């Protein structure tokens, strides 16, 4: 199988948030069929949905993989589980959250997985880091680039720089 281009969104708002992000990226890098291409800077963001919780740290990563989307989904779920992810309430606090934003130009819709991620264009915490690493990318089902979608986004929640990508990658051992 040929390598496919993938974008993931990662977030954490429990415990040592930066440690959970670095561990998740480290674990992704160690998966045999995944190649890390680049990461965005780390941003501190307000929670969406359930507001009475800690702020998140968020990043977007670009990967190349020979995994099918199902295999990639299982790999990300395994990483979340290995880092203590609990699913008590929708949009609730979490040690780590890994969402598949895009898997090449494929459109997938099933009971447990939807790609492109259905809310990406409404989430500043996704669009800002994504526009940093893939501004000219045109997502499936859209005619605008990520940068244009970022500029059009109605989400006005704060997305503040926390750590640049070079410093973050130095933490990922």
Residues noted as catalytic: 85, 94, 97, 99
Confidence of residue 83 (pLDDT cuts 50, 70, 90): very high
Q: Would you say residue 44 lies in a domain?
A: yes
The stretch 145-165 carries a mean pLDDT of: 96
pLDDT reported for residue 23: 98
* Domain tally, the chain: 1
Contact between 61 and 28 (Cβ < 8 Å): yes
Is residue 99 assigned to a domain? yes
Q: Which domain holds residue 35?
A: 4-168
pLDDT higher than 70, residue 88: no
What's the gap between Cα 46 and its chain centre? 15
Whether 76 maps to a domain, the answer reads: yes
Q: What is the mean pLDDT of the chain?
A: 95
> Is residue 166 scored above 80 in pLDDT?
yes
Q: How confident is the model at residue 2 (pLDDT cuts 50, 70, 90)?
A: confident
Rounded-to-integer distance, Cα 145 and Cα 149, Å: 6
Question: Is 173 inside a domain boundary?
Answer: no
Tell me the CATH number at 112: 3.30.70.560
Structure confidence at residue 155 as a pLDDT band (50, 70, 90): very high
Give 23-30 contacts, CB < 8 A, sequence gap 24+: 23/83, 23/96, 24/79, 24/80, 24/83, 24/96, 24/98, 25/59, 25/61, 25/168, 25/172, 26/172, 26/173, 27/79, 27/82, 27/83, 28/61, 28/63, 28/75, 28/76, 28/79, 29/172
Its pTM surpasses 0.85: yes
Widest CA span in the chain: 44
Confidence of residue 86 (pLDDT cuts 50, 70, 90): confident
The pLDDT assigned to 66 comes to 97
% the chain with pLDDT above 70: 98
Answer whether 36's CB lies under 8 Å from 162's CB: no
């Amino acid at each position: 199988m040929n390598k496919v281009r993938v974008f993931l969104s990662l977030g954490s708002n429990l415990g040592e948030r930066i440690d959970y992000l670095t561990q998740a990226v480290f674990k992704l890098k160690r998966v045999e069929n995944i190649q890390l291409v680049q990461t965005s800077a780390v941003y501190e963001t307000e929670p969406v949905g359930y507001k009475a919780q800690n702020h998140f740290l968020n990043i977007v990563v670009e990967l190349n993989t020979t995994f099918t989307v199902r295999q990639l989904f299982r790999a990300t779920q395994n990483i979340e589980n290995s880092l203590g992810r609990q699913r008590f309430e929708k949009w609730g606090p979490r040690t780590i959250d890994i969402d598949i934003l895009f898997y090449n130009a494929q459109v997938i819709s099933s009971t447990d997985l939807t790609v492109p991620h259905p809310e990406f264009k409404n989430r500043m915490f996704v669009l800002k880091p994504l526009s940093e690493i893939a501004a000219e990318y045109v997502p499936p089902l859209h005619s605008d680039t990520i940068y244009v979608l970022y500029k059009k986004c109605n989400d006005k929640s704060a997305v503040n720089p926390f750590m640049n990508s070079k410093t973050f990658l130095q933490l990922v051992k």
